[in-house]
Every structure is written in C-alpha cells, then in structure tokens.
Structure 1
Amino acid sequence: MSEHSYSRTDVIVIGAGVAGLSAACSLREAGLDVLVLEARDRIGGRILTLREGATRPVELGAEFLHTAQNPLLEIFEDAGTATVGVGGTRTLPEGFDAQLAATLDSLAAPDRAQPASNYLAAISSEDDRALMTEAFEAQTGRESLRRTSAADAIKELHLELEHGEFMSTYNSRVPEGLDLITTFLAEDLPLQISTRVERIVRTDNGVSVIASAGGAVQIFDASRVVVTLPLGVLKNNDVQFEPPLPDDKVQAIHETISLDIVKVLFVFDGDVWPLDEEFKHTDDDIVSALWHSTYGGAPGGETVVVAWAVGDEARQLMSLRAPDVLPEMLGRVRKHLGNTALNPTFATYHSWLSDPYARGAYSHLPPGASPDARLRLAQAIDGRVFWAGEATAEWRPRTVHGAYLSGMRAAAEILAEEPARLVSN
C-alpha cells in the first residue's frame, strides 16, 4: 500500500451519521476547518432509506422522528420538507404522568444489578406494579425487561417527566425519506467516504488518524477528533487507539450493549392492513412488533408492512439460514394479518448486527451496567479525543435526535477549549 499525509486540519470527525454531521456542522459554523471521514460508500450511518421496490421511500434503519419536541422537525420545516404526524406506538391514560411521579417517589430505588423484571416483581402494590409495567413498556425499543437495567429505565422515566413528554406517544415520518436529514447536514461539508479508519493516535500536537481508502493508507492530522463510531464497532476493537483508551472508557464500552435488531419490509398491492391499530406489539417468538407505513397523504395502491424483531426475537430470527428469513417472516405476517394469500411485490430485510460498520443497532444498558455509563462514554480524553453518537446521549439515546444532540454537545466541548489551541499549525 502507498502512504501519504493529508494536510492538517482543526478537527477530524469520524463517521458521517447524524451525530458526526451535526458535530461537523456546528464546528464549521464556528469557523473551524473540519473533515468528515466515513467508512461506508454513503452517508447516513444507521439511517438507510430505500427508493426502489415501492412507490415511496421506505426505511430499513431509523424510521420515526420521536416526540413533538424533536429538534429535527425544525430542520425539516426550514428546508421546506414535509413531516407527517402518525401518532404513537402506545396511548397513555390521562393523568399518567402525575400518577407516575407520585409512584416513583414512593418506591425504593433499584439496585444497580437489578433487572427491570425483578424490580417490578418486588413491588407489593398491584396498582403500583401495573403502573410501572405500563411505564416500562412505553419505553420504545428496549430489550426484554429481564435484560434491561431497572436503574436506567427509571432514570429515563424521571427525564421524561422532567421534559414533559414520553417517547412512545407521538411519532412523525418524513414521506420524502428520513435520509434527507443527512443530506441537509452534509451540504458543503468536506467529506470523504469509503475511508475506513484503522487507528487514532494521540500525539503531542493533537491527533493522527490512520485510514485505508482505495488500497492506500492515508494519514490525517488534526488538533482534535470527534469519534462517532457505533458501540458495536468499538466493542469489536475495529479501530485501535494509541495510547490505549483509559480503563474507565473501556469499562463503559463493555458495560453498554448494542441491541440486536432485524427490520423486515414487505410491499403488498392494495390495502391489506385489517387491524384497528396502526402498530401491533406481538407475543411472537421472532416478531416483536408489526406496523404499516400507510398514513394521510401516502401514495395509494400499496401497503408497506414492517416486521420488527428486537432482542430475543432478533436472535431467534437470525439463527435461521439467510434464505429462510423472508419466507419465515412472511408466514408470520400472514398469520398476524389473518390473510394466508398475501404475496409481496417486494421484500427485503437488514440485520444491523451483520453490518460490519455498525455491528448492532442502538445502545442499551443491561442489568449491572453503571447508570453513568453513557456519561463516561461521552467524556473527552486529554482535550483531544471527543465522543458523540446515540450511545453517548444522556437524553434520548436510541434515537436519531439523541445522536444529533450528542454531536452538538461534542462540538460545544471543543469550542469551549482555549481558542489558541484550536488554530492549525
């Protein structure tokens, strides 16, 4: 392999997902020279919008903008791109927040090692147990309660009460494709795709990032680096750090897990959704939930059905041979929709665990994880290596806008450094 050096810049951002692009935009607006490096041949990270197979864009990765307070709604509005409210995945009763606040105040705090399922079982009052069960189940996109940290679940409930909104109660779609958010953020940013970072070296003058691209080794030097690598990539040591990461950072990486998620899409002719609800939670052993992407203003003549598997269900599904995944899931969809004659015009799926640049979907804190693990994941090293990504987000992890806010936070940390130290030599 040939080797050459890239001219020095102020900040290198590793990863062109929403977190990396958010950080790069904020830094560039502040007047810093920024370069974004992305291993894939596309931007977007775990946003993956398909524009073939259906009459509208469909999402194999992140799909919804959660909550009415989502800051990305304003970006789409400013860009003149429509978003459509599609309701929530759960409906909470009136007065739920006040009841929850009072119940949380009355209950003992969970132990760090306590699963959410065990925490619920230990609640003596049936009414309190029922309320807490409903609250835990309203937390979108978690593992099973036996694999969920009770301390982290309750911490999230307190934050939701503080902000006045529960994530599962309101969602929006972007009919033109969620990947437009990365298009907007990436506009005019210096960005290099198909560039796989292999090492990040802290030096006396800042950092050196060693990457491979097109069969060549490239060296990029900067004063700072923002690392937005997915948690699964960090856990697999796909990128080497020199000197090694501090023990506390390594511990936080290994305490936090990446959820196993498989998303399966079927496109059917006509309106084939017979259920009253738009989103169905199931007790199926390989299907966690079903929903459809028909909404006000959507193109007619077809129904896009999503079969979603998370945690145990995803692992069970991925134990099948690859050629058997779609037929098996089609059989389950037919059963849940009560129509054995359903035949799709298009079908596909994506396993984020099998994606070498993700190695899992979004992050999750299991029993035994420290409640401050995300805070430690976000902590900068030596004022040179900064961190962003949904796994580092204290507020709204597991979401696109949590990733977006984490990028803004990392940029703010860099900008708070002494200005003289940010000037490239």
Structure 2
Amino acid sequence: MTTYDTIVIGAGMSGVTAARMLADDGATVLVLEARDRVGGRMNTDRSAGFAVDLGASWVHGIEESPLWDLVQALGIPTLEYTVGSFQAGGRTIENFDGEGRRMDAEATARWVDDVAEADRMLGEEIAASSPGDTYLDVTERALDRSGFAPERIDEIREFFRHRVEEQCGAWIGDLDAHGLDEDAIDGDEVIFPRGYDELPRRTSAGLDIRREHVVTRVSRHADGVTVSTDRGEFRARSALVTVPLGVLKSGAIEFAPPLPAAVAEPIERLGMGVFNKVFIQFPERFWDEESYVLRALGEAGEHWHSWYDVSAVSGRPTLLTFAAGPFGRRVQDLADEDIVADVVSALRVLYGDSVGAPTAHWITRWGQDPFSNGSYSHLALGSSHHDHDELAGPVDGVLHFAGEATWGEEPATVGAAFYSGHRAAERILGHEIDLAEFAARIREREQNPIR
C-alpha cells in the first residue's frame, strides 16, 4: 500500500488550497472527496448557459483580503455587489412597511436612523452581556431601552432576527450574544459572473483527487494515519480533515482513538446553520433598475423578506431570496413548486399583478446534503470565538483540521476556508508559504501544462 505524505479529506476551498500548497512543496498528496466534483459548498450550476452559484457567492470585503488578491492574480472576472451584511441602508433598497406599502424617502431615512440607533444600543448590551446570554436577550434589552413606538420596535426586532438568519443560518435565540462580533466587512463585495467554483477548480488542477470516495474512519497510529473509505483504505504520514462542521457533528466519520477534548468539545459547542437559496427568474423586471435589494419589513416580511437583484449575471430579470434558520429547515422539506408559489405570493403582496409568472428557478437544500449537513458554522450559545481556532488542532502531530469553521476571525466565508487551508499547510510543512508565490505557481502551471 502506498504511503502518502498527506491525505486531505475534502476538496472544498480549504482542502484544495492546502493540497496545492503541499504538492507545490514536493509532498505526495492524495485528496479524497465524497462528491463527484470539487468545490464543496462552492457549487456553480451552468446548465442554463450562465452561472448560478448555489453555494458561496461573494467575496465579503476586498480591502486587505488575500482571497481577493488570489482572485485578481488569476484574472477571474467579478462584479461589484456590495450588500454590507444585511444592511438597513447604504445601497438602493426598496423598503416596504409591515402592511406591504412602499416606503418613501422620508420613511426610509427614519427607518435607517432607527436601526442605527438600535444597533448602537445593541453594541452596548453585547459589551455588557454575561455568559449564557443569547443574541435574542441582548436585542430585547436594546429595544426595551430604545423608546421607539411599538410598531417600530416590532419592525426592528424582525430585522434583527432576519439578520441573524442570513448571517448565521440560525435562530436568534440559539446564537451567542457575541455571535456577530466578527461580522465586519472592509471594502466592496464582489460576485462571480463565470461562477465562484472557478477558484477551487483552477487551484486543484493536476492534483490527485479521488472523487466519490466517502471517508468513514480516520485512525491515528505511531507512524501516521489510516483513512478508511467506501472504496478502500489509504495510509499517510499525516491527514488534514476539511469536511464541513455539520459532517463532524453528525459522527459520519469515526476517529480512532477518539478526538481529544480540545478538538471534540469545540465540534460539539459550535453550531451549524442552514441557509438556503431560492433564485427566481421573471419575464420582466417589476422593480426599479437601480435597486440592489427589495425588502419587506415587519409582518409583511415575516418569512420571505429580502430579494437581491442578481440579473447582471444572466442578463435576465432574476431575484435571489433566502430561507434560513428554522424557516430554512422547514422550507427545504417542500416541493420546488410550493416554494416558488409562496415566494411569488409574498412578492405580489408588495408589487401586485406586476409580478409575472416565473420562467425558471433554482433552489438549494443544504441542510439535507449528507456531505455538509448545513451551510456554515456559527457561534452557538455556550461556544466562543476561540472554539473555531481550537478546532484546527493538530492532534498527536499527525491530524489537522481546516475549513471555515476552524477560522475564528471570519468564519462562514470562503476567505476563512482559504486562510485555514493556508495555515494547515504551513503547520504540516513547518515553514511559511508566500501567498503571492502560491498564485504565481498556479498561473505558471496553467501557462505551461505538463504533457
């Protein structure tokens, strides 16, 4: 049996980043991937003749971002699409009040100011919070202090709930009070007209990737690891596990001996959210040309509340909305036609008969995907920011972990996956890896392929 230097489990962004860096350094690397494709939660559907990103879509903040530097170095085209982490203002947003009526400029300005004031008080409540406080606890304290009219409090409460759902895929009462501390974006955000999975596909080109190999067990022993799959066993001096947190929490992979508490407990404490996408194309645009977002506030937006105009990718009128948290888990059990009908019904409350019959749709069900068991990690009640980084290991010097859930500075992002893969490769090799040189090697390999 061949003994590799490193086996990487998972061909998402963190896995292919680490594998590429290790292989470029001369290591023998095997990547085991359960799916029939690379990319993991970066999944682009091109069946309609244009890119639909069913998983990750954005680079969130391009200032001082090594991920953005890599995108630029590889010449991958992007479109500026800055939404600012579910912001109340800052971009052209068509807001509707709790009764579904379009808000004018004055009402919108008052709304944005109210959210800013509530957020200021929320920041104070978070800073003064105690262990065991949820994000729901601190938002209610802030709203109690606000002095706003009851109907305005209801709208801001709904806004805060949806913000947690969109950012974390979780119910506001399950999120730790500090769960959005890292939710900061520096600079513009961008999306990918050719599809985000171009990044992991180009990074992974030429690697030894065994697709449709489902890992069931990782055993540590004196001279390395043995990785068992549904297609046989593989041995290596070290292993890097990059599967999503939801897979680790499910126990689908057995670790022998069991993982130490330093890694096992963060897996247990951290949460895995559900964040599903619903893309719907329409025969004609019924919203303003310059609008980034359509948003229903309060009761009108209890379930479907925000629609993002992503028409620029396909050139056809297309809105993207989300079903996240408990609502997302319920919705993914429904048939496509029922989901689309419900979304269209919510839009017609706002826009009436101008909403035409949809011409196409795409719907995700990440919570039902056995190779992710959710969308991305979040800071569940009882966990801390340190849990993300503690999860990375290493264990016994031979077992490492990477992925968005292992990067405490900005979890739940592609950037976190990329940076954690870089960190894991450096730890395995025992020396630093220059990211500019990493990008240059990818370009050189593309320009001078081995025949």
Q: TM-score range by the shorter chain?
A: 0.7 to 0.9
Q: Which residue of 1 aligns with 2:196?
A: 178
Aligned-partner Cα distance in 2 for 1:52–1:175: 14
- In the TM superposition, what are the counterparts of 1:37-116 in structure 2 within 5 Å? 37-53=32-48, 55-69=49-63, 70-89=65-84, 90=87, 91=89, 108-116=127-135
Q: Which residue of 2 aligns with 1:119?
A: 138
SS of residue in 2 equivalent to 1:313: helix
1:343 Cα offset (Å): 1.7
The residue identity in structure 2 corresponding to 1:115 is T
1:226 Cα offset (Å): 0.6
Higher-helix-fraction structure: 2
Determine which of 175, 178, 194 is the counterpart of 1:151.
178
Aligned-partner Cα distance in 2 for 1:371–1:381: 20
- 1:31 is aligned to 2:31: no
1:29 Cα offset (Å): 2.2
The residue identity in structure 2 corresponding to 1:202 is R
Determine which of 339, 352, 360 is the counterpart of 2:374.
360
1:190 Cα offset (Å): 1.4
Q: 1:108 to 1:194 in 2, by over 3 A?
A: closer
Q: 1:236 to 1:329 in 2, by over 3 A?
A: same
Contact 1:19 1:228 in 2 (8 A): yes
1:266 Cα offset (Å): 1.4
1:38 Cα offset (Å): 0.3
Aligned-partner Cα distance in 2 for 1:218–1:21: 22
Higher-strand-fraction structure: 1
- 1:240 is aligned to 2:266: no
Contact 1:273 1:303 in 2 (8 A): no
> Bigger CA drift: 311-320 or 399-408?
311-320
Please tell me the root mean square deviation across aligned C-alpha atoms, in Å.
3.2
The residue identity in structure 2 corresponding to 1:80 is G
> Bigger CA drift: 369-378 or 137-146?
137-146
SS of residue in 1 equivalent to 2:139: helix
Q: Which residue of 2 aligns with 1:422?
A: none
TM-score scaled to structure 2, two decimals? 0.78
Query: Unaligned regions of 5+ residues in structure 1, if any?
Result: 418-425
SS of residue in 1 equivalent to 2:341: helix
Q: Which residue of 2 aligns with 1:375?
A: 389
Aligned-partner Cα distance in 1 for 2:123–2:303: 33
The count of aligned residue pairs is 391
TM-score scaled to structure 1, two decimals? 0.82
The residue identity in structure 1 corresponding to 2:137 is N
Q: Which residue of 2 aligns with 1:312?
A: 326
Q: Which residue of 1 aligns with 2:13?
A: 18
Contact 1:112 1:370 in 2 (8 A): no
Contact 1:37 1:192 in 2 (8 A): yes
Q: Which residue of 2 aligns with 1:421?
A: none
Query: Unaligned regions of 5+ residues in structure 2, if any?
Result: 91-111, 148-152, 432-451
Q: Which residue of 1 aligns with 2:303?
A: 286
- 1:249 is aligned to 2:263: yes
Contact 2:218 2:254 in 1 (8 A): yes
Aligned-partner Cα distance in 1 for 2:253–2:237: 19
Contact 1:73 1:83 in 2 (8 A): no
Q: 1:280 to 1:373 in 2, by over 3 A?
A: farther
Contact 2:291 2:309 in 1 (8 A): no
Contact 1:109 1:151 in 2 (8 A): no
> Bigger CA drift: 60-69 or 285-294?
285-294
Q: Deviations over 1:219-260 (max 9, x none)?
A: 111111110111111111111111111133222112111112
Aligned-partner Cα distance in 2 for 1:344–1:67: 32
Aligned-partner Cα distance in 2 for 1:105–1:323: 44
Contact 1:22 1:407 in 2 (8 A): yes
1:391 Cα offset (Å): 0.7
Q: Deviations over 1:122-142 (max 9, x none)?
A: 358649xx9x99999877612
The residue identity in structure 1 corresponding to 2:391 is L
The residue identity in structure 1 corresponding to 2:369 is D
- 1:266 is aligned to 2:280: yes
Q: 1:288 to 1:271 in 2, by over 3 A?
A: closer
Contact 1:49 1:177 in 2 (8 A): yes
> Bigger CA drift: 82-91 or 397-406?
82-91
Determine which of 182, 200, 206 is the counterpart of 1:188.
206
> Bigger CA drift: 217-226 or 264-273?
264-273
The residue identity in structure 1 corresponding to 2:310 is S
1:340 Cα offset (Å): 5.9
Contact 2:126 2:178 in 1 (8 A): no
Aligned-partner Cα distance in 2 for 1:44–1:219: 23
Q: Deviations over 1:389-411 (max 9, x none)?
A: 11111121111111111111111
Q: 4+ runs of 1 displaced by more than 6 Å?
A: 99-103, 132-139
Q: Which residue of 1 aligns with 2:105?
A: none
